[in-house]
Chains A and B, each alone.
Chain A
Amino acid sequence: MSAQFLQFLFAGLTVGAIYALAGLGYALVYSASGVINFAQGQFVMLGAMATVGLLGAGLPYFAAVPVAIIITIVVGMLAEKLAVRPAHGSSIVTLIVITLGVGELIKGSVQVVLDRSTHTLPSIGGGGTVDIAGAFISTQGLWVIGVTFLCVLLVGYFLNSTLTGKAMRAVSCNRLAAQLVGIKPDRMLLMSFAISAALGAIGGILITPISFISYDSGTMIGLKGFVAAALGGLGNAPGAIVGGLVLGLLESFTAGYISSAYKDAVAFILIILVFFVTPNGLFGAKSSERV
């Protein structure tokens, strides 16, 4: 393997990890409610921008990060309570417009409360690069991959081994049956919004030292997270993670070997091609229409 190949591989995994985190957020909310939360990308942006703002206000890094994540979680929960829940049972498009509206509100507020310029954040542990087999790899990239891995493990543990996590999966299997055994679906939906907001915020804070952030960068990240989730089969959490990583790698190799101008198009060309072959995504369950 050439050093260049390694470099692209690593860059792809780094950005893929962020798509995976955003995609996981989509998957959690979708499986809890059948809602595609188009505000997910704005959670990513909000987490990063809130950290920027708190650092600017004089908070140290280790305090700013958790506060920013909590702010994003609160915003996510408010979005569920005030915007998504009142529209329960509406059509797909109504819910899409609602979550987009929430996204616009977040974007518009950040732009006023903070500012409209592009920011970066300090790398964890001071930054720098390490030399792996001739490829120069940023330590921040290692942090991104490491923390993402940790987050995925935690979410996996939560869903598979805790009572609340199991209740959440029960709701996604069969809402009515879950209700009958005493699970409150609304609380599960609220929780899925909180978790996906947290995942988004963490992703945003991690990637900002590498790719910068501004109030309007959330939309593209969000759309790619959606692609990641759809690639893995909507509502399939492990699928979303694989989808995110695959997307990141393809983007990175396209930028490196083919054309950097068209790297943003990769996600959308890929998803359309995948849908033509298998309409339910790579790992999606087969669905049938009821008449």
Chain B
Amino acid sequence: MSGDTYRVAGLILALIAAYFVIPDAFVMDLWIRIMLISVVVIGLNLLFGYTGQISLGHAGFIGIGSYGSAIMTAHLQIHPVLGLLAMAVATGFFAYLIARPILSLKGHHLAMATLGIGVIVTIVLNNETAWTGGSDGLVVEPLRLFGGPIYDGGQWYVIAAGMLVVVVWGALNLVRSPAGRALRAIHGSEIAAQVAGIDVSALKVRIFALSAILASVVGSLEAHYLGFISPGTAGFGRSILLMTMVVVGGMGSVFGSILGAAILLLLPQVLAAVSVWETAAFGIVLVATMIFMPRGLVPTIGSLVRRRAR
């Protein structure tokens, strides 16, 4: 068994153990949301941490998944699972279409273009009130599996944890595969990667589409889980939050993505202690983390531990 197999096994055990330790519905809810968002962050980490392509609009893809599922189940009476799959395909196709021209951009230009996509999605969600309910938001039907609706936190925990394990396992495999090495080569230098025989733009397009699909699936699940969505779900602030989760947890670290998601979702709970100063404190935490741990928590702590061990 390789190190990755142990890590995935460890994750599964930890998730099972956590299930029995969780004291109440509040903590359960928090963990479900952390696990769901972790999946998006892992996708974004593959795109940004490994391949070096920034996206400041990924919440837009969550929004497309959320609203697509909500509208399909409510207006067209489509089964939620079918809706989720249809949205995953649609978002993947959309991302695939826009990826080639967008990913030919670099640095700040890429940041601007992806940011633009996200903001445009939010504006559409705000304005097409007949379908989306506008800024008032939209009530979403519950997820249905095996014939019945799913409301129970425990069942949702199993769904979210199952999905997280599959995505972690897939991501670890991808990273170790030739494709994963090619992604890192693109991060290092696109021209050098091209010279080495890597089809740079095709790979960038695929990893962008993959991360968008993961975001869409999570968006669909989240919509059914929360039962209510508003345009903020796709907003610029949320895109930044996702990016921050990648950077705080650790660029190019799959498990760092989970840690980053957990820290940034738990932070508001901690900062609630400073009540009105919450937003300001959040800003300070962001700045301080970036200055003192620019590589993120997991890589920084990892290299500290290794130095100790030597």
Contacts and interface: CB of A to CB of B under 8 A. Distances in A.
A83 interface: yes
A234 interface: yes
Interface in B118-150: 119-120, 123-124, 127
Contacts of A2: none
18 contacts: A92-B108, A96-B54, A98-B286, A101-B283, A101-B284, A101-B285, A104-B282, A104-B286, A108-B278, A108-B279, A108-B282, A234-B108, A265-B120, A268-B120, A272-B116, A275-B105, A289-B190, A291-B192
Interface of A: 36, 82-83, 86-87, 90-94, 96-98, 100-109, 111-112, 219, 223, 226-227, 230, 234, 261-262, 264-265, 267-269, 271-272, 275-276, 279-280, 289, 291
Given A90-B290, A98-B287, A234-B108, A105 B280 contact: yes
B290 A108 contact: no
Interface string B225-244: 00000000000110010011
Contacts of B287: 82-83, 98, 101-102, 105
Given A219-B237, A265-B120, 4 more contacts: A101-B282, A105-B287, A109-B280, A275-B112
B183 to A, nearest CB: 17
Contact of A97 (B104, B236, B281, B286): B286
Contacts of B107: 92
B97 interface: no
B277 interface: yes
Given A102-B287, A105-B283, A108-B279, A36 B111 contact: yes
A23 to B, nearest CB: 12
Contacts of B124: 265
A72 B119 CA distance: 27
B247 to A, nearest CB: 6
Interface of B: 48, 54, 56, 101-102, 104-109, 111-113, 115-117, 119-120, 123-124, 127, 189-192, 236-237, 240, 243-244, 247, 276-287, 290-291, 294
Given A98-B291, A219-B236, A265-B123, A279 B283 contact: no
Contacts of B111: 36, 92, 96
Contacts of A279: 104-105, 109
Nearest to B195: A291
Contacts, number: 131
B279 A94 contact: no
Contact of A93 (B127, B192, B243, B278): B243
A79 B294 CA distance: 18
A36 B108 contact: yes
B120 A269 contact: yes
Most buried by B among A103, A108, A226: A108
Given A108-B279, A262-B127, A272 B286 contact: no
Nearest to A95: B290
Contacts of A280: 109
Contact of B116 (A36, A100, A268): A268
Given A83-B287, A93-B54, A108-B283, A271 B277 contact: no
B286 A101 contact: yes
Contacts of B106: 289
Contacts of A291: 189, 191-192
Nearest to B54: A93
B112 A97 contact: no
Given A36-B108, A93-B247, A108 B281 contact: yes
A272 B277 contact: no
Contacts of B116: 227, 267-269, 271-272
